[in-house]
């Protein structure tokens, strides 16, 4: 699904006009259906540490064509720069500068991933080097072309580079599943989690609940989780019952019609799950609404429903699931839908931004509560995604919003769904209270 402008500038005459006028020329973004292999090769591993050697062996085990230098490579598919042992800023250039000479050799849809440690506020020189990786990576992501992206994995001190969370984050960021993720870092803060038994079906044997599942991003989430092997419980309001039933029939899912803001919604969900002997391994809290108004014109009728659906219902449902004690599996994963509006704010969305900023803080607190049972909570913050809602935006505003990111185009619902599937997997146990932006490195926020 491409917009009219993008189709035009990819045509012969449009490509010429855009080139002469200096207009944005969005490149195609290969997604899972276009590139199913886990790594686009050849992949060059940069770094001098034992961790770099371990990463190279890991990639070899995935069947990748692994090299340690760029020499004699006319095209490079992926680059992994392992900087886990940098101790001074001068270490960065030695490891990273070989990539500078290979930038023009990166294939369309290439991936660059850094693996480093977060600054700890203890050693000034070491922390400066570690912090420098972030500035480098975010700037590099703005320079990528041809649908290529750059992202990073931050690995807490004491966590090995072979931890499930590191492996899972690297697998996700190198794959075509991260097509609309750019300039972002995933922090692996602990060793928790377990390896995915089947990379082609990472959610096999897991049961997942998706709220707001009947249409749009929710339906894309449900389809992606099902494609990854999950058994699904799909939930939406009674008014969306027809669409929900169709989706449930398509995916052989279990449907439940429920208003998540109604009194006793949590208790009814628990009863529903118990009656069917369902135990949830993943909970995707996607239900959400907008009621946009400038704050000068904001009313309780516009404010209250947004806060009720977008954040209060998430608190209510997760409290009920945790308190029930018998409807959550071992090491549960909770994934909530935030938004870049909750990070950077947005004109006319004080209510929506408040609710989504609340989601970001909520998952941090919830992750701490789930940690004793091996569970975790994280969020996904979409940017501009091509949906029915964004299609109703004024034409000029919509066109500007599409171009305000490093990839110069809107994302697709499946891009959000792919990130949620990763965070719902067994591998993601080491990611705690993270908010992953799926926004093409939108120029607002961080």
Distance CA 187, CA 155 (A): 6
Distance CA 12, CA 299 (A): 50
SS3 79: strand
Domains 26-188 and 207-438 share a fold: yes
pLDDT band for 446, please (50, 70, 90 cuts).
very low
Distance CA 252, CA 202 (A): 18
* pLDDT computed for residue 184 by the predictor: 97
* pLDDT computed for residue 164 by the predictor: 93
Among 3-12, 179-188, 296-305, 407-416, the least confident range: 3-12
How would CATH label the architecture of 26-188?
3-Layer(aba) Sandwich (3.40)
What average pLDDT does this structure show over 107-129? Answer: 95
Contact residues for 164 (Cβ-Cβ < 8 A; gap 6+) = 191, 192, 193, 194, 195, 426, 427, 429, 430
* pLDDT computed for residue 444 by the predictor: 57
What's the pTM? 0.93
Q: Is 352 a catalytic residue?
A: yes
Q: What is the largest CA-CA distance in the chain?
A: 66
Q: How many residues does the chain have?
A: 446
Kindly report the average pLDDT of the chain as a whole number.
Answer: 93
Structural domain spans, the chain: 26-188, 207-438
Beta bridge partners of 382: 438
Q: What is the DSSP letter of 240?
A: G
Superfamily holding 207-438:
NAD(P)-binding Rossmann-like Domain (3.40.50.720)
With beta carbons less than 8 A apart as the criterion, state whether 119 and 156 touch. Answer: no
pLDDT band for 80, please (50, 70, 90 cuts).
very high
123-178 tens-digit pLDDT: 999 999 999 999 999 999 999 999 999 999 999 999 999 999 999 999 999 999 99
266-278 tens-digit pLDDT: 999 999 999 999 9
Residue keyed to tokens 């549960």? 332
Radius of gyration of the CA atoms of the chain, in A = 22
352-394 tens-digit pLDDT: 999 999 999 999 999 999 998 889 999 999 999 988 877 777 7
With beta carbons less than 8 A apart as the criterion, state whether 244 and 236 touch. Answer: yes
* pLDDT computed for residue 1 by the predictor: 65
Q: Which of 136, 172, 352, 422 is catalytic?
A: 352
Distance CA 208, CA 26 (A): 35
What average pLDDT does this structure show over 216-234? Answer: 97
* pLDDT computed for residue 445 by the predictor: 46
pLDDT band for 4, please (50, 70, 90 cuts).
confident
SS3 332: strand
């Amino acid at each position: 699904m491409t917009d009219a402008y993008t189709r035009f500038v990819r045509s012969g005459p449009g490509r010429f006009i855009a080139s002469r006028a200096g207009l944005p020329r969005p490149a195609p973004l290969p997604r899972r259906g276009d590139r199913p292999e886990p790594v686009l090769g050849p992949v060059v591993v940069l770094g001098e540490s034992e961790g770099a050697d371990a990463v190279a062996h890991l990639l070899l085990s995935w069947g990748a064509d692994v090299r340690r230098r760029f020499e004699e490579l006319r095209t490079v598919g992926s680059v992994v720069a392992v900087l886990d042992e940098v101790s001074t800023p001068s270490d960065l250039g030695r490891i990273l500068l070989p990539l500078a000479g290979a930038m023009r050799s990166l294939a369309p849809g290439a991936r660059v991933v850094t693996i480093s440690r977060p600054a700890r506020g203890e050693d000034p020189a070491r922390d400066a080097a570690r912090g420098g990786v972030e500035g480098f990576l975010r700037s590099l992501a703005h320079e990528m072309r041809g649908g290529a992206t750059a992202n990073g994995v931050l690995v807490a001190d004491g966590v090995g580079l072979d931890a499930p969370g590191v492996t899972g984050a690297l697998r996700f960021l190198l794959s075509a599943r991260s097509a609309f993720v750019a300039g972002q870092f995933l922090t692996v803060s602990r060793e928790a989690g377990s390896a995915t038994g089947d990379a082609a079906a990472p959610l096999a044997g897991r049961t997942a609940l998706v709220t707001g599942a009947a249409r749009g991003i929710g339906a894309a989430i449900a389809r992606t989780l099902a494609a990854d092997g999950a058994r699904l419980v799909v939930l939406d309001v009674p008014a969306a019952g027809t669409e929900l039933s169709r989706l449930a029939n398509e995916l052989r899912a279990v449907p439940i019609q429920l208003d998540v803001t109604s009194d006793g919604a949590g208790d009814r969900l628990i009863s529903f799950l118990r009656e069917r002997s369902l135990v949830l391994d993943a909970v995707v809290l996607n239900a959400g609404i907008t009621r946009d108004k400038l704050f000068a014109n904001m009313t309780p009728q516009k404010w209250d429903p947004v806060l009720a659906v977008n954040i209060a219902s998430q608190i209510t449902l997760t409290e009920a699931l945790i308190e029930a004690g018998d409807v959550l599996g071992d090491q549960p994963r909770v994934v909530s839908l935030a938004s870049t509006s909750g990070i950077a704010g947005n004109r006319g969305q004080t209510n929506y931004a408040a609710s989504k900023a609340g989601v970001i803080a909520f998952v941090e607190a919830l992750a701490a509560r789930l940690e004793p049972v091996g569970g975790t909570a994280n969020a996904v913050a979409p940017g501009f995604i091509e949906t029915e809602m964004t299609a109703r935006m004024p034409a000029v505003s919509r066109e500007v919003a599409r171009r305000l990111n490093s990839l110069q185009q809107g994302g697709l619902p499946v891009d959000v769904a792919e990130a949620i599937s990763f965070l719902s997997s067994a591998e993601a146990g080491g990611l705690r209270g993270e908010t992953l932006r799926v926004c093409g490195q939108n120029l607002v926020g961080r």
